Chain A
Amino acid sequence: MNNVYVYLEIEGKTVADVSLELLTKGRKLATQLGCQLEAVAVGSGLDGVEKQVMPYGVDTLHVFDAPGLFPYTSLPHTSVLVNLFKEEKPQICLMGATVIGRDLGPRVSSALFSGLTADCTSLEIGEYEDKKAGKVYENLLYQIRPAFGGNIVATIVNPDNRPQMATVREGVMKKEILDPNYKGEVIRHDVAKYVPETDYVVKVIDRHVEKAKHNLKGAPIVIAGGYGMGSKEGFDMLFDLAKELHAEVGASRAAVDAGFCDHDRQIGQTGVTVRPKLYIACGISGQIQHIAGMQEAGIIISINNDPNAPINTIADYVINGTVEEVVPKMIKYYKQNSK
């Protein structure tokens, strides 16, 4: 009762990185709140799944293992969480802001009438005063996210309803093993008690999952282009520079929306979060929702012909110039000076 829960996203038999990142965060929140961390694994053929998650400090793992629970469909996974939560009454539930988490989270929150905040970039514990009702709530989950197209940052709380639910994108939280020998309890539930047969109404006929075409998330150097690149062709020079520097190319949302770059390269709150040692922002103005996804980069270089671009305030090097002028020169002088 009153514990912190993490829904584990499982592709086949492998727990997704985003879930391990949330276990790490969930462990910290549980410790701060003085409660336990519990996790829910829903899928097929999950023998041994506990080995993947216990080291992150899971006190109780709930396993729901049955044919039909993989691949994911909305209703059975919703029933598992809704019925389990009615028994266990968690105070917090975290899930990945993935396609699955964003399909499942709202459904569960609607069934339990509990608030859900999507795509949080930070989670903290704090108090909240409802001045109208003259009531102070302690130890609430602050769900912090950019809002309004990333122009402001909002702190959301769910004062009265439980669980307090939040989704977080992959890469936003850091994954960290607590103790390789951490001992938690494993409970294998009778799936039929939680999921009615009538839930299995959607059939997955065909499914293709490919490994990502690039490693933007783990790249030590990221070269990102914004709307200022002007066109898809404009991005070609970024790929040229990336090839020289062994870097990956990313893009701002504005550039992706304009069709200059593929969606899977989008950096920011609604894209990938990166922590490279070097980040070169080319023609990016720097809306909050973009900065949320790259502000932990080691060194930031901003190339922009607008000296007042917001991103310049967090840059280590500001180059006042056009990308068309500066990027070819970077390639030229890199070739000349590197061995």
Chain B
Amino acid sequence: MSLKIVVLAKQVPDTRNVGKDAMTAEGTVNRAALPAIFNPEDLNALEQALRLKDAHPGSTITILTMGPGRAAEVIREGLFRGADNGYLLTDRAFAGADTLATSYALATAIKKIGEFDIIIGGRQAIDGDTAQVGPQVAEKLGLTQITYAEEILNVNLADKRITVKRHIDGGVETVEGPLPIVITVNGSAAPCRPRNAKLVMKYKRALGAQEKAAITKDGAALPYAELYDKLPYLNITEWSVADVDGDLKQCGLSGSPTKVKAIQNISFQAKESKTLTGSDADIEGLIVELLENHTIG
């Protein structure tokens, strides 16, 4: 018996390593200077899915992502590591979505995928840190959820039950829930296995329609164009709002109850500060000062 698993993955700017060149002279974020990466916790989720596939041969893993054309990279990366296929939700109408509109779009696409036992994704994405999309997708699909998962311990296919170890504040708990279910995985879970060389060979030319269009836009020929008819798995499927029968009112900005009122770049209230060097005299002077005013005792 096998499982049908959908992995929710997001391409994110690497906000963890915001260097100086990532900020413009005006102090705004220069998104172009930040590399786009596979959201780290989504990789932890992919590993849990791959382990289930190892344990239950015949299981399939579908990567589902939403974003611009280049987000097909996330699907390719998933294929390199053992996923079976993927869908890229991409449409201008999805732009400006808050977590609720994002969850609506993902849930609609999951319904289009049809059969599934487990929907699994990272606990949160590093560009928003909200941890909201997993539970909201679960609610939209009418499924229960297990968040902050550390490890899937067991899936009982006969009883359709899953056992998961998860983090709670100040500890851990083990819970058992019914399939189908939505699971979100913590960054402390097992890291994702590396790319598989054979799969990289197989899928390295896999492209989405927008990626192909970008290559050929100035009249250039698409390299290995004949492959894409011969090997259908090299065509990464893109879905628009219409493809998933989405309701435009619930997508993007119009489907987002939260609005951004203001974005501020931070200017700190500069304090008058004393500047010291690392010399013995400066450090001893500071320690003596802190002792005298009883800051340290």
Interface residues of A (CB under 8 A from B): 71, 73-75, 78, 98-100, 102-107, 109-111, 113-119, 128, 130, 142-143, 147-161, 201-212, 221, 245-246, 253-254, 257, 263, 269-270, 277-278, 287-288, 291, 298-301, 307, 310, 312-322, 325-326, 329-330, 333-334, 336-338
Contacts and interface: CB of A to CB of B under 8 A. Distances in A.
B257 A318 contact: no
Interface residues of B, number: 78
A319 B271 contact: no
Given A152-B264, A201-B177, A313-B268, A245 B296 contact: yes
A267 to B, nearest CB: 15
B280 A329 contact: yes
Contacts of A102: 131-132, 147
B96 interface: no
21 contacts: A105-B135, A106-B103, A110-B139, A110-B140, A152-B264, A153-B265, A157-B261, A158-B258, A161-B257, A206-B173, A209-B168, A301-B286, A313-B271, A314-B271, A317-B276, A318-B274, A319-B277, A320-B276, A329-B283, A333-B284, A333-B287
Contacts of A157: 258-259, 261
Contacts of A78: 139
Contact of A115 (B100, B133, B168): B100
Nearest to A305: B278
Interface of B: 13, 15-16, 18, 22-23, 28-29, 98-100, 103, 126-136, 138-140, 144-148, 163, 167-178, 188, 256-266, 268-271, 273-278, 280, 282-284, 286-288, 290-291, 295-297
B103 A110 contact: yes
A314 B177 CA distance: 48
A113 B257 contact: yes
A325 B280 CA distance: 10
Contacts, number: 255
Contact of A287 (B13, B18, B127, B295): B18
A73 B175 contact: yes
Nearest to A105: B132
B263 A152 contact: yes
Given A99-B147, A321-B278, A203 B175 contact: yes
Nearest to A205: B174
Contacts of B282: 319
Given A114-B257, A128-B261, A148 B29 contact: yes
A307 B147 CA distance: 42
A220 to B, nearest CB: 9
A118 B175 CA distance: 25
Contacts of B169: 98-100, 209
Given A99-B168, A205-B175, A329-B278, A155 B144 contact: no
A314 B170 contact: no
Given A115-B100, A313-B271, A320-B276, A107 B138 contact: yes
Given A149-B15, A153-B263, A316-B274, A209 B127 contact: no
A147 B163 contact: no
A307 B276 CA distance: 11
Contacts of A118: 128-132
Given A157-B258, A201-B178, A317 B286 contact: yes
